[in-house]
């Protein structure tokens, strides 16, 4: 099976704090991969790096064979993440929530002078 996430000596520092300490692992396509550790072990930080929301400090991290440092847009386009906590508004119906999210990205693209193609 192809490797979909590959980390090698992956490290993340927040100033003096070493949040992720040189971890290495591979996740195969279709594999159910458990990522366990005590509070503060660096799990969320690692997921954020996989999502390309947080830059790694050092080491190698590839998602779908692409380096997170060079292909964040391509990775974000095909990666789906279901967070532990959702941020849905309990007073909004699902369709309204979807439309308000779309409106936000539409507004952002318009402000950047981009068209609606590729939404
Ligand atoms: N944005 C940040 N700035 C500074 N330190 C951070 C930041 N995010 C996380 N940390 C620190 O990095 C370390 C790892 O945090 P992280 O949230 O990744 O751990 P975790 O394994 O997800 O913990 P938990 O099981 O509590 O969710 C912790 O010491 C945390 O306080
Ligand atoms: Mg966490």
- What pLDDT score was predicted for residue 102? 65
For ligand 1, atom 30, the nearest C-alpha belongs to 40
- What pLDDT score was predicted for residue 14? 97
- What pLDDT score was predicted for residue 108? 66
Between CA 103 and CA 119 the distance in angstroms is 11
The pTM is what? 0.81
* Ligand 2 centroid – CA 19 distance (Å): 11
* Ligand 1 centroid – CA 40 distance (Å): 5
Q: Which two tokens stand for residue 54?
A: 């947080």
Tell me, using a 6 A CB cutoff, whether residue 40 lines ligand 1.
yes
Residue/partner pairs of 25-32 with CB below 8 Å, 24 or more apart = 27/3, 28/1, 28/2, 28/3, 28/4, 29/1, 29/2, 29/3, 29/4, 30/1, 31/1
Between CA 64 and CA 108 the distance in angstroms is 27
Mean pLDDT by 10 residues, the chain (119 residues): 96 98 97 94 96 97 97 94 77 74 64 62
- What pLDDT score was predicted for residue 8? 98
- What pLDDT score was predicted for residue 106? 62
Tell me, using a 6 A CB cutoff, whether residue 41 lines ligand 1.
yes
């Amino acid at each position: 099976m192809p490797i979909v996430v590959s980390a090698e000596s992956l490290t993340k520092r927040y100033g003096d704090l070493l949040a992720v300490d040189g971890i290495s692992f591979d996740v195969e396509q279709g594999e159910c991969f458990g990522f366990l550790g005590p509070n503060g072990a660096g799990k969320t930080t690692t997921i954020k790096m996989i999502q390309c929301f947080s830059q790694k400090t050092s080491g190698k991290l590839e998602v779908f064979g692409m380096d997170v440092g060079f292909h964040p847009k391509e990775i974000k386009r095909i990666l789906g993440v279901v967070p532990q906590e959702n941020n849905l508004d309990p007073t909004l119906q699902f369709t309204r929530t979807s439309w308000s999210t779309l409106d936000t990205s539409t507004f952002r693209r318009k402000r950047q002078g981009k068209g609606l193609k590729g939404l």
